[in-house]
Amino acid sequence: MADNYTLSGSNSTDGTELPHVEPTLGTPAVDVRGLNQTAGVFTFDPAFTATCSCESDITFIDGANGQLLYRGYPIDQLAANASHLEVSYLLINGELPSRTQMDQFRESITHHTMLNTSLMNFFDSFHYDAHPMAMMTGIVGSLAAFYHDTTDIHDPEHRETFAHRMIAKIPTIAAAAYKHSVGQPIMSPRNNLGYTSNLLRMMFAVPAEDYEVDPVASKALEVLFMLHADHEQNASTSTVRMAGSTGANPYAALSTGIAALWGPAHGGANEAVLNMLNEIGDASNVPEYIEKAKDKNDPFKLMGFGHRVYKNFDPRALVIRDYCHQVLDHYNNQGNERLFDLARELERVALEDDYFVERALYPNVDFYSGIIYAALGIPTNMFTPMFAIARTVGWSAHWMEMMNDPGTRIARPRQVYTGYTQRDYVPTDKR
C-alpha cells in the first residue's frame, strides 16, 4: 500500500480516504472494497473499463506501449525462442522449466491426451453441422462428470492434474469436433508427436492413408498458440475466474471460458475477420466498407481492429504479421495471398483514416491469425477452437492462481437498480 486517495466533489463521499494498491508494473489501483460501508455508495463501472478484479502474477499488458509479458518475459522473445509447452509450463508454474522439469511436464501432458470412450460417444449425438465451439463447450463441461469426484479443488496436486489434463485433452476434443463435422473417423492422439503436430494429425489424417506432419504448419501453430496462451483478465478468463470463485469444479469453470471466447468481440474475431474479408472480396470495395465501419447507424465493424487495452499497437499482431508473410510464401498460396493483400489494403486505408486514428484503432492479433489458419488449410469454423486450445493454458493458470489465493471470495458485483419502486400485486382480472 502506498499513498491514499481522497475522494472529493459534490457527493456524499467527500473526504473519504481510500487505500491504494501498488503493482510491480503499471497503473496503481484505488481499493474501494470498504467504500460502501464507509461512504454508503457503490462504484459504477459497467464493462469494467476502470476496474481491477484481482491481483495476479501471471501476465502484464502495457496498452499504451504495446507491451505483453508472460511472468515477466516479453512475448516476442518467447514466440521466437520457446515452444508452446514451455510457455504453458511457465504460465502455470511461474518459472521457465529446467530440462528435467520440461521432460516431466511433456511426459505428463502426453499421457493425458486420450479421452474416455464414453465421452467420445457424445460427439455422435451432435448434429453434423454443429459449430465445433458448441461441441467443445458441451464436451469440456461434461468432463466434470468424469473427473469431479477425483478433483479436490483445495488440493494443489489435484489442481495441477486438472491443468495437465486440460492442456493435454483440449486438442483431442477440438480435433474430434472437427472430424465429427466432416463425417470422418475420429483419430486417436499419437504420443510420439509434439503438441501441435499431434493436433494437425488428429485433424487431417485419415485411417486409410499415411500422414506426414508439415513442420512449417506445426511451427506456425506453436507461434500462434504462444501468442494466444494468456492475456490477463480478458472476458473469457474473467468468466472462468467468476465461475471458479463459487467453488465450482474446474472443468465446469473452464467450459464457461470457451463459451465467452466464442463471441465475435473476443475469440470469435478470427473467424469474423475471414468472413469479412471474403465479403469485401476486392480491394476496390475497401473504401465502401471503411465508410460502413464509421457509420454509427450501421452495425458493421472492422473485425480484427481495436482492443480494450492496446491503444497503440498489439505486440502479438506485430509478431504474427511478419510470420504471415513467411507462411504464405512457403505455401505459395495464391488464394490466401489475395486475402492477405486485401487485408493489407484494408489496414493501410484504415490507419490513414481520421476515425481510426482518433480512436486509436489498430489491427489486433486476430486480424492476421485467420489468414495463417486459412493458409494451413484449417477451416474457418475451427479458427476460434484453435484460440480456445491456446487459451486453455491461461484459463487453467488463472483458475489455479485464484484457488491458491486465501483471499479469494465469491465474485458478486452489485448494480444500480433503475426499475420500478415498490408496487402492489394486481390480480389477473384487474390488469
**303 near ligand CMC, rule: CB under 6 A:** yes
Contact call for residues 95 and 345 (beta carbons, < 8 A): no
CA gap 190, 178 in Å, rounded: 17
**66 near ligand CMC, rule: CB under 6 A:** no
**266 near ligand CMC, rule: CB under 6 A:** yes
Cell of 85: 509447452
CA gap 110, 86 in Å, rounded: 14
Least distance (Å) between residue 295 CB and ligand CMC: 9
**308 near ligand CMC, rule: CB under 6 A:** yes
- Residues in CB range of 175: below 8 A, 6 or more apart: 186, 187, 199, 202, 203
Q: In this chain, which of 18, 136, 167, 269 binds ligand CMC, going by CB under 6 A?
A: 269
Identity of the residue, 204 or 356, whose beta carbon is nearer to ligand CMC in the bound complex: 356
Please write down the long-range contacts of 254-260, taking CB distance under 8 Å and 24 or more positions apart.
Answer: 254/140, 254/166, 254/392, 254/395, 254/396, 254/399, 255/137, 255/138, 255/140, 255/141, 257/388, 257/391, 257/395, 258/133, 258/136, 258/137, 258/140, 258/388, 259/137, 260/235, 260/236
**290 near ligand CMC, rule: CB under 6 A:** no
Identity of the residue, 206 or 351, whose beta carbon is nearer to ligand CMC in the bound complex: 351
Residues designated catalytic: 266, 307, 366
Q: In this chain, which of 267, 315, 370, 385 binds ligand CMC, going by CB under 6 A?
A: 267
Q: 30: part of which helix (H) or strand (E)?
A: strand 29-30
Q: Is 193 exposed, middle or buried (0-12, 13-18, 19+ CB in 10 A)?
A: middle
Residues 320-359 that bind ligand CMC (CB under 6 A): 359
For the CA atoms of 341, 343, 348, 353, what is the dihedral angle to 10 degrees? Answer: 150
Instruction: Report the residue number whose CB is nearest to ligand CMC.
Output: 306
Least distance (Å) between residue 107 CB and ligand CMC: 31
Contact call for residues 167 and 393 (beta carbons, < 8 A): yes
Identity of the residue, 299 or 427, whose beta carbon is nearer to ligand CMC in the bound complex: 299
Length of the chain (residues):
431
Cell of 126: 451432435
379: left (phi over 0), alpha (psi -120 to 50) or beta: beta
**293 near ligand CMC, rule: CB under 6 A:** yes
Stretch that binds ligand CMC, among 14-22, 105-113, 306-314, 331-339 (CB under 6 A): 306-314
Identity of the residue, 158 or 294, whose beta carbon is nearer to ligand CMC in the bound complex: 294
Q: In this chain, which of 132, 250, 304, 385 binds ligand CMC, going by CB under 6 A?
A: 304
β-pairing verdict for 73-74 and 67-70: antiparallel
Least distance (Å) between residue 358 CB and ligand CMC: 9
Q: In this chain, which of 91, 92, 240, 302 binds ligand CMC, going by CB under 6 A?
A: 302
Q: In this chain, which of 366, 372, 374, 388 binds ligand CMC, going by CB under 6 A?
A: 366
Within its chain, how far is the Cα of 118 from the centroid?
Answer: 28
**361 near ligand CMC, rule: CB under 6 A:** yes
CA gap 421, 59 in Å, rounded: 44
Q: In this chain, which of 197, 364, 392, 396 binds ligand CMC, going by CB under 6 A?
A: 364
**194 near ligand CMC, rule: CB under 6 A:** no
Residue type, 58: I
Q: How many residues bind ligand CMC (CB under 6 A)?
A: 20
**138 near ligand CMC, rule: CB under 6 A:** no
**398 near ligand CMC, rule: CB under 6 A:** no
Identity of the residue, 302 or 393, whose beta carbon is nearer to ligand CMC in the bound complex: 302
Q: In this chain, which of 105, 305, 323, 331 binds ligand CMC, going by CB under 6 A?
A: 305
Residues 219-238 that bind ligand CMC (CB under 6 A): 231, 234
Identity of the residue, 205 or 303, whose beta carbon is nearer to ligand CMC in the bound complex: 303
Identity of the residue, 50 or 206, whose beta carbon is nearer to ligand CMC in the bound complex: 50
CA gap 268, 235 in Å, rounded: 12
**75 near ligand CMC, rule: CB under 6 A:** no
- Residues of this chain that interact with ligand CMC (CB under 6 A) are 231, 234, 265-267, 269, 293, 301-308, 359, 361, 364-366
